[in-house]
Structure 1
Amino acid sequence: MAQLRTSQLLEKGWWLRETDGLTDWLSVAKVPTSVQSDLMNHKLIPDPFIDLNEISTEWVGEKSWSYRVDLPPIPPSARSDGSKIALVFEGLDTFAHVRLNGETLLQTDNMFLSHRVDITNRLQDQNQLEIDFGSALLKAREIRAAHPEHKWEGFNADLSRLAVRKAQYNWGWDWGPVLMTAGPWRPVRLETYHARIEDVRVDYRVAENFDSVQGTITVPVEGTAGDQVAVDVEFAGKSVFSATTAPENGLAIIEFSITDASLWYPRGYGSQALYTVRTVLSEAARELDSRSQSVGFRGVQLVQEPDDIGQSFYFRVNGLDIFCGGSDWIPADSFLTNISEDRYRQWLKLIVDGNQVMVRVWGGGIYEDDSFYNACDELGLLVWQDFMFACGNYPTFPAFLESVHEEAVENVRRLRHHACLAIWAGNNEDYQVQEQSDLEYNYEEKDPQVWLKSNFPARYIYEKILPEVVQQECPSVPYHPGSPWGGGKITSDQTIGDMHQWNVWHGTQEKYQIFETLGGRFNSEFGMEAFPNIQTVEAFVTQKSEMHPQSHTLDFHNKADGHERRLATYVVENFRLTNDLEKYIHLTQLVQADALMYAYRGWRRQWGQAKHCGGALVWQINDCWPGTSWAIVDYYLRKKAAYYALSRVLAPIAVGVQREHHDWSVAHARPAKSSQFQMWVVSSQMKVVDATVKLRFICIETGEDIKPAITKKIQLVANGTTEVLKGVIDNISEKPHVLAANVFVDGTILSRDVDWPQPYKYLSFADRGVTVRQPCHGESGTIRVSAKRPTKGLMFEEREGVTLSDNAIDLIPGDEQVVQVSGLSATSPALKYHYLDL
């Protein structure tokens, strides 16, 4: 009689040792794991995140390592009743030789693949599983040397990485360390079954009036047992569709229809309606296997249509056009098994709380854990998903292409049911490598065999293998060959496709005040570096003598080429210098916050009615270790000033005011005689909103209004930009002053913006008259802040466990601001704070 499938995680009882060494076996706390984590547990290597310890741990990646575990006893009945017994490896990192009782079961070379091995006829009374992990670093060099016909070109790290299907950032990147991991990085399971559900595929279409859904549920079944597949679709605890059918040739297909369907929307545009699809395989009414997964019904389109600029690039979900303000995501740890489901959720909750609507999973990391996408579904966060290729000209020898195809099929199948999935992109910056390395690329040539014979054969991956897989396995989600990519035009073209705008920081190192003029149709990367908060610096710098802005340790924890000059340049161009570490940290964070504010504010304004800019994704939201980088939140989830600046700019209704840029460097510090300014309001609301706007002109030195405020009642256009007013500042007769803009709805201030004369270093910030009233006895509640004179960047400390509704605030006389604080106790000291006083 066929039995219910059982699955047992092999988490405990593992041992580790160096494969070729003479050392004893070391106990392993838990699988999944990585070699470095286990060695740290035994104090055999120091924490590579601290000081310069990365250097003294690099040797780990040059060795081979072995793991072993004794399998639990297999009941005799399971070995005699026709059951299949399988070992399932959800992820092995990366070159793994798997043996059972000394006999080879499996050899792997792709970190992104799972493996299922039938061991029914290989079992003994006692069974030992052993896995040898070779050095990916050394193996990559061997493969590269074996293919001299290929042109190995790219950005970042040892280009041998291109030969191996492993997370590319392990070789080091311009924001992360060289930490070459190995080990069973995803769960290992022992399964027993007569038949099992291999997959549940839900294909559907949303009706044009968005009130119903029709589709097909396809269930492949492994094994000869099982005479019935039952499907039940539930919503809000109630069944809305159910059906049964008999599988034929290992496949069950069920048509379904749901009327009055609740659709899934991104955060801020509607509810995140999720249906549960429960599938049961049975025989003679006896359950053999079951599977449940969430599905959110939505229609997603990438709108690329000719317009007065070139070709649009924006996303439409359920008929709603959405400006996708968001972030780029890298793996949240150098050691992937450190990222728990709870930590994923903390990160993603932080993103949506910052008014962001999209996150881009970058192509040099991993296809993230299921819990990442589950949280995005639940939180309403759209996902731009890169395939795992980054910054290189990848090879195309047959075994490599076969592995890539298998990887694409498996991961597209795993992720396709997620409502959050908005786009698949073929790679990160590989077309930029093609351009900068002058590799052959004729867009008009459409013969894939010709592509393979060129010195840019990787085009075959991005324009044949991957789009074909997406079309076959996930046709409802758009595919884009690369990020950035604009068809036959160069990747820096501002009229088509998406672009990575790095002429602030990299490239020509433009003033960040002109960021808005540098963007394209969708800006999927741009950024500015900043130091992490002082508490994070104190966590990775152990020597007091190294606690200064230019110390060896602090420089070591910034992996960006030329960062010493570039970050210092942007600081000195805009602010007065200081050697006090905490004040210098604050200056770098103000630079980052202002730079990204100029970008987001200007690009969101361009959304308007013409949709000239469809979105902006900052590089980057997170870090994989503690250090200085482009992240707007550091490794320990401590938010930098930029996080709050972007949250304000991306609010559902946000006011903007800006005077024209005057390049003080080119003008040799000679002030402009006059400056034009403009004021506008952006809204993501899908209806017209009645509002009032107010613009004040406030002297920086005295805090007095230098002329009457302008107040207007306006109607905010739906899902667009309302241009409010234009004016001229007389820089000769008027004292230096800020433009302070507010927008009110029903008498409540919904948004503020402050435009300052640039650069700040020419202004005096002495004696600001700041008042901060914190809750009594340190308890959670309300902080009230005000100032007698315009104040730049009031920043409260980012204390662990404490959440602030706002931070990094500009204060204007007569406009008290309120910050909600939670996580404090009656014994907590008051939060420390500082503001620009140089």
Structure 2
Amino acid sequence: MSTFKSYELSQGWQFREASDDNTPSVWRDVSRVPTVVHLDLLAHGIIRDPFVALNELEVQWIGERDWIYRTEFATPEIREGEKCDIFFEGLDTIATVTLNRAVILKSDNMFIPHRLEVTPRLIPGGVNALEILFESALLCGRERVRQHPEHRFITHQTELGRSSVRKAGYHWGWDWGPILMTAGPWRPVWLEVYTARIEDVWVESEVSADLKSCQGRVKVQVDENVEHRVRVTILFQGETVFESEITANDGVAGCEFQIAEPALWYPHGYGPQNRYEVRARLINEHGVQHEVSKVTGFRRVELVQEKDRHGQSFYFRINGIDVFAGGSCWIPGDNFLPRLTPDKYKKWLELLREGNQNTIRIWGGGIFEPAEFYSTCDELGILVWQDFMFACASYPTYPSFLSSVEEEARANVRRLRHHPSIVIYAGSNEDYQIQEKYNLDYNFETDKDPASWLKSSFPARYIYEYLLPKIVEEESPRTPYHPTSPWGGGKHSADPTIGDIHQWNVWHGAMLPYQDFPKIGGRFVSEFGMEALPHIPTIEQFVQTAEEMYPQSQTMDFHNKASGHERRLGTYILENFQVRPDLQSYIHLSQIVQSEAMRSAYQTWRREWGQDRKCGGVLVWQLNDCWPTTSWAVVDYYLRKKPAFYAIARALSPIAVSISRTHHDWTSGHNTPPKSTDYTLSAVSSHTEPVYATLSLRTISILTGQDLRPQSSYKTTLTPNSTTEITTGTLSLENTDPFVLSATLHIQNQIISRDMAWPQPYKYLSFQNRGLTVKYIPETNVLSVTAEKPVKGLVFEERDGLWLRDNGIDVAPGDEQVIAVRGVHGEADVPRWRYVGDDLV
């Protein structure tokens, strides 16, 4: 039995503002650690909820103050030969820790855990006082800017001093989130008693090219520089597949292993998520002193970057299978991080997989997520693109800053390296765009001297191209590293022929029509997006008064942090749809704009996943929100899905049909209406074996709902893990009703995928008298949807307790769509719905 004992110091804490030194009565109880000061002030009714109305403005004083947290704990039983540590998993951010009035730690990095032996400082048989002073990170950042005039601070998004403080960037405010400068013990605090302890156990392994064997080395780090016996075991489904007893000298032990015919880990949709347990036991003549185990998976990961006719590829190959990375970017799920429970993380990630997404990118302005996040990705087969925590700035490189960055990077790569889901590390987010915008020094081709980079006007290149890749190579050597996102190997960050790109010429930049997405893709699109309002139940949770319930109200405007959001979103709605001023209509139209943009992007770029892999992945900005707001998120803060979520799910189905038609932008100037339209019918498959399918194509009058020509049918074999083009053609637009092209894909006489291509803009079309019928069928718990004429953008209002298999759909006459549903209790409980051109039902 292990002699290691662990006690979480979660109860009995108090807090107060540090300036109240002479007023002992101001100490207030804390319900639980982990916590941050805003949560505790909320609990005591001292502040109003910053997520409601304009209350964010009322709490800015919190970030300018210093705060103290304290607790007392009894000295645990410590036998002869044992010692006691305090382990802080995370302190936010400028922290001084005292134990029994003696300073034991000074920390200025939110991302670094700290372990301190405190045995001699404890009061034998007594009670110990632990106190943590959190100084204002906001004021610290401002002071560091003054202290380092040698550095040219360039920081997008609010505070200039943000780049000098190792605190989550989004806490300082972003164009989708509030300014809420938290402070406190944001991750657990532990007391641990032991004789000897295993610091870490990990595996450096390689799966052979033929996938027939996995070999490598199990490594164990022990806390002391003395000799220890360590028993290493690798288990699969509870059965031992490898075991060895080794000796740890100077704190390190290791042994070689080999597993024949390993059960490999795959992303979901490509194979099972097999995982192994790697266990290390520290033993002596008295038995097991300490035991640590990690759950890992064996897989062969390659980032394929090869010259081709399009430039240079960029995609992932897992266990020899090329994988199209369709997914989302992830921001932290709350401004108050202790509120994110393992269950909440699991719901988010299950939602991702439900939407047929297989990849999530953890953005560099947030945090290194907790273990539960990555373990859930391992379990669900979700690929993780992990940014290091640098975003939208030119970061300094003075010695103490670099030292902190190195400690942070090593600590987190060590913490994460056993997760098979992590397939790439990226050095930063958009920092090379800062270099380009401000013309900072950078010569990729000729300047290869890291020491010279530190003397340039872009010294952070040293972090991204020297320090971080060195750390990844030393700590997790078989994980691909990418200097930043976007990155093109020294070319301009917007070069679509190489690396990854962030495509923001829709919404930002040139504000191109979303219909232009097919023209502006890249080898891997790791950011792009379109805003939409959340559903009305979410808006009702932050708008307090009926007077503010309109699209342009101050509260609605305040809960959208994007610069120029009203002009941009209004433009996209106005260019495409007939606009009505009421809030429900504006919500619906914004959501359809976002959904249409996602359909256009994901369908087109996934179609480019052909034999030449022109596009290797698409990640929308963004999956989620950190507070209730209008943003680019496709699922809002309360996990209410917008129609865009479903549009992505349809486009990323394992087998998906796609019908496209030429978009003619003739709505302004002296352009004339087009006389014909070209179309392409195709299908994509992520299956690794051929699939036999039948595709049908109809041409349907929007005015009458009648077919304008006979239905076409095509029997074909879908190319494995690729795109199959079925047919192309040209249709006249003269002397005919406006029409939709409606495509279906059947396997064994069952429709598994639908798509419809409409003439645009939609504002020129009549959507009256659609003959839409929605019925709830309780026996099978489904909604039956039929229409007499083509319907655009049927959206059911999402609410708590309601789950829909699909939403935001188009409906063709004669094609009943059956949507599985949960949380509907009878016909009267069917959620409210709208479609384009309809009034609220």
**Is the TM-score greater than 0.5?**
yes
Distance 2:646 2:669 in 1: 32
**What amino acid is the match of 1:798?**
E
Q: Does the Cα contact within 8 Å between 2:155 and 2:162 map onto a contact in 1? A: no
Which among 664, 685, 693 is matched to residue 683 of structure 1?
685
Distance 2:511 2:825 in 1: 45
Quote the residue 1:362 is aligned against.
363
Quote the residue 2:619 is aligned against.
617
Distance 1:228 1:828 in 2: 68
Identity score, percent: 53
TM-score when scaled to structure 1?
0.98
Relative distance call for 1:558 and 1:780 in structure 2 (3 A) is farther
**What amino acid is the match of 1:43?**
G
Quote the residue 1:10 is aligned against.
9
The DSSP-based 3-state class of the residue aligned with 2:7 is: strand
Quote the residue 1:754 is aligned against.
756
Q: Deviations over 1:609-661 (max 9, x none)?
A: 11000000000000000000000000000000000000000001111111111
Q: Does the Cα contact within 8 Å between 1:194 and 1:225 map onto a contact in 2? A: no
Distance 2:674 2:156 in 1: 41
Matched, 1:818 2:818: yes
Q: Higher mean Cα deviation, 189-198 or 669-678?
A: 669-678
**What amino acid is the match of 1:100?**
L
Matched, 1:179 2:199: no
Q: Deviations over 1:105-128 (max 9, x none)?
A: 101000000111111111123210
Distance 1:144 1:71 in 2: 39
Matched, 1:332 2:333: yes
Distance 1:192 1:780 in 2: 56
Quote the residue 1:831 is aligned against.
831
Quote the residue 1:283 is aligned against.
284
CA positional deviation for 1:829: 2.1
Q: Does the Cα contact within 8 Å between 2:228 and 2:249 map onto a contact in 1? A: no
Q: Moved runs in structure 1, 4+ residues, more than 6 A?
A: none
Distance 1:155 1:504 in 2: 20
Distance 2:796 2:299 in 1: 40
Distance 2:817 2:76 in 1: 66
Quote the residue 1:397 is aligned against.
398
Quote the residue 1:490 is aligned against.
492
TM-score when scaled to structure 2?
0.97
Q: Does the Cα contact within 8 Å between 1:51 and 1:553 map onto a contact in 2? A: yes
The DSSP-based 3-state class of the residue aligned with 1:20 is: helix
Matched, 1:87 2:86: yes
CA positional deviation for 1:249: 2.1
The DSSP-based 3-state class of the residue aligned with 2:103 is: strand
Q: Does the Cα contact within 8 Å between 1:226 and 1:288 map onto a contact in 2? A: no
Distance 1:155 1:661 in 2: 36
**What amino acid is the match of 2:119?**
T
Distance 2:829 2:599 in 1: 32
Distance 2:43 2:817 in 1: 47
Q: Deviations over 1:519-542 (max 9, x none)?
A: 110000000000001100001111
Distance 2:338 2:725 in 1: 49
Quote the residue 1:211 is aligned against.
212
Quote the residue 1:117 is aligned against.
116
Distance 1:207 1:441 in 2: 39
Quote the residue 1:343 is aligned against.
344
Distance 1:244 1:115 in 2: 30
Q: Does the Cα contact within 8 Å between 1:98 and 1:129 map onto a contact in 2? A: yes
Distance 2:45 2:820 in 1: 42
The DSSP-based 3-state class of the residue aligned with 1:127 is: strand
Q: Does the Cα contact within 8 Å between 1:33 and 1:183 map onto a contact in 2? A: yes
Distance 1:144 1:736 in 2: 61
**What amino acid is the match of 1:86?**
D
CA positional deviation for 1:3: 7.1
**What amino acid is the match of 2:10?**
E
Which among 454, 460, 465 is matched to residue 467 of structure 2?
465
**What amino acid is the match of 2:431?**
D
Quote the residue 1:69 is aligned against.
71
Which among 456, 462, 466 is matched to residue 454 of structure 1?
456
CA positional deviation for 1:430: 0.1
Structure 2: gaps of 5 or more residues = none
Q: Does the Cα contact within 8 Å between 1:527 and 1:619 map onto a contact in 2? A: yes
Q: Deviations over 1:329-383 (max 9, x none)?
A: 0000000001000000000000011000100000000000100000000000000
Q: Does the Cα contact within 8 Å between 1:93 and 1:183 map onto a contact in 2? A: yes
Q: Deviations over 1:579-617 (max 9, x none)?
A: 111111010000000011101111001111110000000
Quote the residue 1:702 is aligned against.
704
Q: Does the Cα contact within 8 Å between 1:195 and 1:225 map onto a contact in 2? A: no
CA positional deviation for 1:261: 1.1
Quote the residue 1:505 is aligned against.
507
Q: Does the Cα contact within 8 Å between 1:683 and 1:718 map onto a contact in 2? A: yes
Quote the residue 2:795 is aligned against.
795
CA positional deviation for 1:227: 3.6
**Count of paired positions:** 832
Let me know the Cα RMSD of the aligned residues. 1.3
**What amino acid is the match of 1:255?**
E
CA positional deviation for 1:167: 0.1
The DSSP-based 3-state class of the residue aligned with 1:539 is: coil
CA positional deviation for 1:742: 0.7
Quote the residue 2:573 is aligned against.
571
Please give the residue correspondences for 1:728-747 in structure 2 after superposition, counting only pairs within 5 Å.
728-747=730-749
Distance 1:581 1:825 in 2: 27
Q: Higher mean Cα deviation, 828-837 or 576-585?
A: 828-837
Quote the residue 2:54 is aligned against.
52
Which among 634, 637, 647 is matched to residue 635 of structure 1?
637
Quote the residue 2:782 is aligned against.
782
Q: Does the Cα contact within 8 Å between 1:780 and 1:822 map onto a contact in 2? A: no
Distance 1:56 1:299 in 2: 51
**What amino acid is the match of 2:202?**
R
Distance 2:286 2:825 in 1: 56
Q: Deviations over 1:795-837 (max 9, x none)?
A: 1121212211111110000100010112345698222222112
Q: Does the Cα contact within 8 Å between 2:746 and 2:753 map onto a contact in 1? A: yes
Q: Does the Cα contact within 8 Å between 2:226 and 2:251 map onto a contact in 1? A: no
Q: Higher mean Cα deviation, 226-235 or 737-746?
A: 226-235
Q: Does the Cα contact within 8 Å between 2:15 and 2:27 map onto a contact in 1? A: yes
Relative distance call for 1:30 and 1:827 in structure 2 (3 A) is farther
Q: Does the Cα contact within 8 Å between 2:776 and 2:827 map onto a contact in 1? A: no
Distance 1:226 1:531 in 2: 61
CA positional deviation for 1:224: 6.3
Q: Deviations over 1:143-178 (max 9, x none)?
A: 011111111113212121000000000000000000
Q: Deviations over 1:208-228 (max 9, x none)?
A: 211221111010111367742
Matched, 1:196 2:197: yes
Quote the residue 2:804 is aligned against.
804
Quote the residue 1:99 is aligned against.
98
Distance 1:669 1:601 in 2: 28
Please give the residue correspondences for 1:640-655 in structure 2 after superposition, counting only pairs within 5 Å.
640-655=642-657
Relative distance call for 1:669 and 1:47 in structure 2 (3 A) is farther
Distance 1:139 1:336 in 2: 21
Distance 1:86 1:386 in 2: 31
Quote the residue 2:771 is aligned against.
769
Q: Does the Cα contact within 8 Å between 1:780 and 1:823 map onto a contact in 2? A: no
Q: Does the Cα contact within 8 Å between 1:329 and 1:362 map onto a contact in 2? A: yes
Q: Deviations over 1:730-762 (max 9, x none)?
A: 111221000001111111111111001000000
Quote the residue 2:600 is aligned against.
598
Distance 2:250 2:510 in 1: 61
The DSSP-based 3-state class of the residue aligned with 1:246 is: strand
The DSSP-based 3-state class of the residue aligned with 1:96 is: strand
Relative distance call for 1:564 and 1:668 in structure 2 (3 A) is farther
Distance 2:9 2:780 in 1: 44
Distance 1:74 1:686 in 2: 58
Q: Higher mean Cα deviation, 723-732 or 581-590?
A: 723-732
**What amino acid is the match of 2:801?**
G
Please give the residue correspondences for 1:81-480 in structure 2 after superposition, counting only pairs within 5 Å.
81-124=80-123, 125-223=126-224, 227-444=228-445, 445-480=447-482
